[in-house]
């Protein structure tokens, strides 16, 4: 692959292409020739709820193309990637993260607190549905899917009063100006690894892995996403489960008073999402950055103790 361009595989959506372009630019600036290959996925072709079409709808076609040597690198939204490892593939890099928070786009510039009871808010994510219901604002939540333009269009057309979307996606397609409120993680904890990308290569393509690691990887994002996804994996939940997690690398003092980087993690799991009595379970912990996996498992264990075993999906 030293002589031929690096083939970067992407889904065809505007968001996916924008994400892939940022990685392509990083490689080009480092002096490498790239070629972008678009791979169509069932997730793009169907508008059925994710729960019906299954985990990995957005990622499996890219992974197959990578395993078949049709591309050298696959770029995924990290939060869409199943937690089970894929044999033959390796996570070569996790680029610097966009703002991980969720965002509200509401009619007339309204914030969540300004939406009157009975307002209709669109989101298909059980995690967002649960946290919206738990606010007790009397909002009616309706399921929606479709790309970013389609979702925002439902507010513009008057069909919905508001939609909740990942801020990162809006940033990548240049629509942050339409956000009427960026939601505080205290009210709306993002999905594990939201706003982060996962860059995969083939296990045997050591050269591509090394290149991506050195040019694209961001250590702080990698360890944060690792801890967040360990919460999800331990709860044995997928990307459409009512689970949120957010980790930050923070400066802390060690036992000798020296400043050290630590990883601070919050997690939530919801029970009763489908009924009228949703319950949000919360846990948090802090650990050394090298213990990201253990930290995630510890937060998940606390959520399980609180009753997260009864997750509805």
Ligand X SMILES: NCc1[nH]cc(CCC(=O)O)c1CC(=O)O
Quick one: which segment of 31-39, 87-95, 134-142, 164-172 binds ligand X (CB under 6 A)?
164-172
Question: In 240-278, which ranges are E strands?
Answer: 243-253, 259-271
73-92 residues near ligand X, rule: CB under 6 A: 77, 79-80
Whole-angstrom Cα distance, residue 119 to residue 115?
6
List 168, 233, 295, 298, residue binding ligand X (CB under 6 A): 168
Whole-angstrom Cα distance, residue 197 to residue 194?
8
Residue 124 token pair:
């298909």
List 106, 141, 165, 283, residue binding ligand X (CB under 6 A): 165
Instruction: For residue 243, state whether it binds ligand X (rule: CB under 6 A).
Output: no
Q: Closer to ligand X at the Cβ: 8 or 170?
A: 170
Q: Show which residues are catalytic.
A: 80
Reading across the β-sheet that carries 89-93, which strands appear in turn?
Answer: 34-38, 6-10, 73-77, 197-202, 89-93
- Which residue has the closest beta carbon to ligand X? 169
Helix (H, G, I), strand (E, B) or coil at 268: strand
State the CB neighbour count (10 A cutoff) for residue 184.
Answer: 11
Per-position x/- string for 32-71, each x denoting binding to ligand X as judged by CB under 6 A, each - no binding: ----------------------------------------
Tell me the β-bridge partners of 162.
106, 121
Q: Closer to ligand X at the Cβ: 100 or 267?
A: 100
- The DSSP bridge pattern shows strands 279-288 and 259-271 to be antiparallel
Per-position x/- string for 184-213, each x denoting binding to ligand X as judged by CB under 6 A, each - no binding: ----------xx------------------
Whole-angstrom Cα distance, residue 97 to residue 218?
8
List 115, 166, 179, 225, residue binding ligand X (CB under 6 A): 166
Give the residues lining the site for ligand X (CB under 6 A): 77, 79-80, 165-166, 168-169, 194-195
């Amino acid at each position: 692959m030293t002589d031929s361009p690096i083939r970067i595989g992407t889904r065809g959506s505007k968001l996916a292409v924008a994400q892939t372009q940022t990685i392509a630019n990083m490689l080009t600036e480092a002096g490498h020739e790239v070629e972008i290959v678009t791979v169509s996925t069932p997730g793009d072709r169907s508008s059925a709820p994710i729960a019906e079409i299954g985990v990995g709808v957005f990622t499996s076609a890219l992974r197959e193309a990578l395993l078949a040597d049709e591309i050298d690198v696959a770029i995924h939204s990290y939060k869409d990637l199943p937690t089970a490892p894929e044999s033959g593939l390796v996570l070569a890099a996790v680029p610097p993260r966009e703002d991980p928070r969720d965002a509200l786009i509401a009619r007339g510039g309204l914030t969540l607190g300004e939406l009157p009871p009975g307002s209709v808010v669109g989101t298909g994510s059980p995690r967002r549905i649960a946290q919206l219901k738990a606010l007790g604002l009397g909002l009616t939540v309706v399921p929606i899917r479709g790309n970013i333009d389609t979702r925002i269009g439902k507010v513009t057309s008057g069909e919905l009063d508001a939609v909740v979307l990942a801020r990162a996606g809006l940033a990548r397609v240049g629509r942050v100006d339409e956000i009427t409120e960026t939601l505080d993680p205290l009210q709306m904890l993002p999905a594990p690894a939201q706003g982060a990308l996962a860059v995969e290569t083939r296990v045997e393509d050591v050269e591509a892995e090394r290149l991506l690691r050195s040019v694209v990887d961001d250590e702080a994002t990698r360890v944060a996403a690792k801890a967040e996804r360990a919460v999800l994996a331990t709860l044995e939940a997928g990307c459409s489960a009512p689970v949120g997690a957010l980790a930050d690398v923070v400066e802390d003092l060690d036992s000798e008073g020296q400043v050290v980087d630590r990883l601070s993690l919050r997690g939530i799991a919801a029970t009763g999402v489908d009924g009228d009595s949703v319950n949000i379970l919360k846990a948090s912990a802090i650990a050394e950055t090298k213990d990201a996996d253990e930290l995630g498992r510890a937060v998940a264990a606390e959520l399980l103790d609180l009753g997260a075993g009864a997750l509805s999906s």
